[in-house]
A and B are shown apart, each in its own frame.
Chain A
Amino acid sequence: MKHLRAVNKKARRIDDFVAARDEDVVALQNPNNRQPQPRPHIPMGCSLMFSPGWEVDSAGGTAGLCQPVERDIYDCYVTCYWPAQVPDHLNNSPDWSSKCASATKDWRNLDLVFP
Chain B
Amino acid sequence: MKKLLAFIPVFACATLGWSGSLFLGGYPNSILVVDESSGKVVDKIHLETGLPVSMHLSEDRKKIYVTTNDHSGIEVIDLATRKVTNHFVLNTATKRYRFNGGVPDPEGKLFYTVTTEIDKQLEHFDIGKPKYTVIDLAQQKIVKTVEVAAEDENDASGGYGRNVFEISPDGKYLYQFRNKVMILDSADFKVVDTIDLSKPDFPGMENIGFGADLDSIPEPGKHVSIFTASDPIVHNRVFGIGRFDLNSRQMTFSPIGPAPMGMAGLQVTPDNKSAYTVVANGMHGNKRCEFWSFQLSTDRLTERAEVQCRTRFSFGSSSDGKKLYIYGAGFEVEVYDAATLKHERTWDLNNDVTMAGLVVIP
Write the residues of chain A forming the contact surface with B, with a CB cutoff of 8 angstroms: 57, 59, 61, 63-67, 71-72, 74-75, 78-79, 81, 89-90, 94, 97-98, 100-105
- Which residues on the A side are within 8 Å of B310 (C-beta)? 66-67
Q: Are A74 and B329 in contact (CB under 8 A)?
A: yes
Q: Are B312 and A66 in contact (CB under 8 A)?
A: yes
CA distance A74 to B28 in the complex (A): 9
With A66-B312, A101-B26, A101-B27 in contact, is A71–B350 under 8 Å at CB? no
- Which residues on the A side are within 8 Å of B295 (C-beta)? none
- Which residues on the B side are within 8 Å of A78 (C-beta)? 51, 53, 69, 354
CA distance A75 to B330 in the complex (A): 10
CA distance A89 to B355 in the complex (A): 15
User: Between A and B, how many residue pairs show CB distances below 8 Å?
Assistant: 71
CA distance A66 to B28 in the complex (A): 19
Proximity string of chain B (13-38) to chain A, C-beta cutoff 8 Å, 1 when within and 0 when not: 00000000000001111000000000
CA distance A79 to B312 in the complex (A): 14
Write the residues of chain B forming the contact surface with A, with a CB cutoff of 8 angstroms: 26-29, 50-51, 53, 69-70, 160, 204, 283-286, 310-312, 329-331, 350-352, 354-355
Q: Are B329 and A61 in contact (CB under 8 A)?
A: no
Q: Are B69 and A105 in contact (CB under 8 A)?
A: no
Q: Are A66 and B311 in contact (CB under 8 A)?
A: yes
Contacting residue for A71 out of B204, B330, B351, B354, CB 8 A: B330
CA distance A101 to B331 in the complex (A): 9
Contacting residue for B352 out of A63, A67, A102, CB 8 A: A102
25 contacts between A and B (CB under 8 A): A57-B284, A59-B283, A63-B286, A64-B204, A64-B285, A65-B311, A66-B330, A67-B310, A71-B329, A72-B312, A74-B27, A74-B329, A74-B354, A78-B53, A78-B354, A89-B69, A94-B50, A97-B27, A98-B28, A101-B350, A101-B352, A102-B27, A102-B331, A102-B350, A103-B27
Most buried by A among B283, B312, B330, B331: B330
Q: Are A72 and B160 in contact (CB under 8 A)?
A: no
Name the residue of chain B whose CB is nearest to the CB of A106.
Answer: B350
